[in-house]
Amino acid sequence: MSKTQQTINPTTEDVIDTYNLMTWEDAENVIEQTHQAFLGWRETTFQQRAEVLKKVASLIRERQDDYAALMTREMGKTLKQGQQECQLCAAICDFTAEQGPKELADETRDMQGGKALVTYQPQGVIYGIQPWNFPLYQVIRYSAACLMAGNGVLLKHAANVWGMALEVEKLYRDAGLPENTFRTLLIDHDVSDKVIAHKHVRGVSLTGSPGAGRAVAQEAGKALKKTVLELGSNDAYIVLKDADIDQAVKACVQGRVYNTGQTCVAAKRFIIEESVYDQFRDAFVAQMEKVSCGDPTKDDTGMGPMARKDLRDDLHEQVKQSVEAGAKCILGGEIPEGKGYFYPATVLENVAPGQQAYDDELFGPVAALIKVKDEAEAMKVANDSIYGLGGGIFSRDEDRAIRLAREHFDTGMVNINGYQLAQPNLPFGGVKESGYGREHGGFGLHEFVNVKAVMISGSK
């Protein structure tokens, strides 16, 4: 008898659908089909691949209301934010279609005794293991670049968003991608390890926790296969004494509660110089208190529920542990009664090392306030983390903020005087336990290709 997996609406706690998990034999058959499809897809021109991605972008825009509604049902994202996610995905596909042929074009180089060619050739089937928090974007982010490079693509999506997982497969097929070039696998972790080891799978792209990253990298390492890992973080946002406090508060609230705080590059730790600490804290708490938490289908809802009950319960345990270890909860911090996996906008202060709010990732709408005496201590605390994905600096002295971001912030991305999510034309990724490799900005196009040198002797 086959295993089954249910998807649950986090707002109502009702069952949405029940899926049969694939066996290893089922998955192996799909891998073989995708490999065969790759052998044909690799022969297409850059322009043919670009046309498919342009059609994907067009279909996403046409279907954005339906996709947003599916996100709301499966993981609780507000409809407005689901539409914004769709718009970003369409922009990524358009950017990849436009820049791909340029980034992947052959290069000629001088060579003693002749000339050389550097060519970027597809590798084969690339396997993506993706989370639920941005159920369309996480898939488009790696798959568009892989397909533009001529690879075949497999997807193992988080089990609570399998409706979207199947929709993305249909999206690519409807856009004209040859049958089986992109396939979704409805599998568990045991089958996933076998997928990584399969001879036709040439690389793995994972977005997830550091624990998941270690496990996947270990399995891929056994088979000597490249990985790109985009993992967790506890991004620090520094408020210097010369900051525009109103601007900083607005951006920091947005950065903490967007997508109900379930974002790897969310603002999580707020490091404030002591001379403006009270001013920032009072204004920040006042704005966090105004964030509405409720039905994600309503236009005036600021936050929907968290995606799963276990995620909410884990977050609440982190809050309780932090308070027991000396933090002070000055807003929120209680699970509301009633249906739905809701958690209120929460603010902790007196946050210090040894508390989970300081050391770990709070993947939900909980802000950690940390007071420091000056800029030097602010940078030290910001970098006092096992993570290094994103972060931010608020200062009226833009040149000073840029210098700190360039030379001292030990992360892959830094915001200055604002909060921005991923941009199609900029690299996305981190350092330390936030992972390695880059996506977007043309960089992702080179992650899963064979950079091949062709040396031609005697040629001029």
In 190-326, where do the E strands start and end?
201-207, 226-230, 236-239, 269-273
Q: State the Rg of the chain over Cα.
A: 23
Is 329 part of the annotated catalytic residue set? no
Which position among 85, 169, 230, 349 bears the catalytic label?
230
Which position among 86, 264, 293, 329 bears the catalytic label?
264
| Whole-angstrom distance, CA of residue 430 vs CA of residue 412 | 4
| Whole-angstrom distance, CA of residue 109 vs CA of residue 342 | 58
* Burial of 241 per CB tally in 10 Å (0-12, 13-18, 19+): middle
234 within 8 A of 362, measured Cβ to Cβ: yes
Give pLDDT < 70 ranges for the chain.
1, 460
266 within 8 A of 258, measured Cβ to Cβ: yes
- The structural domains of the chain, ordered by start, are 4-232+435-457 (3.40.605.10), 236-421 (3.40.309.10)
Tens-digit pLDDT profile for residues 175-206:
999 999 999 999 999 999 999 999 999 999 99
pLDDT for position 1: 63
Is 230 part of the annotated catalytic residue set? yes
pLDDT for position 156: 98
pTM beyond 0.75, yes or no: yes
pLDDT for position 2: 77
| Whole-angstrom distance, CA of residue 165 vs CA of residue 53 | 18
| Whole-angstrom distance, CA of residue 308 vs CA of residue 120 | 41
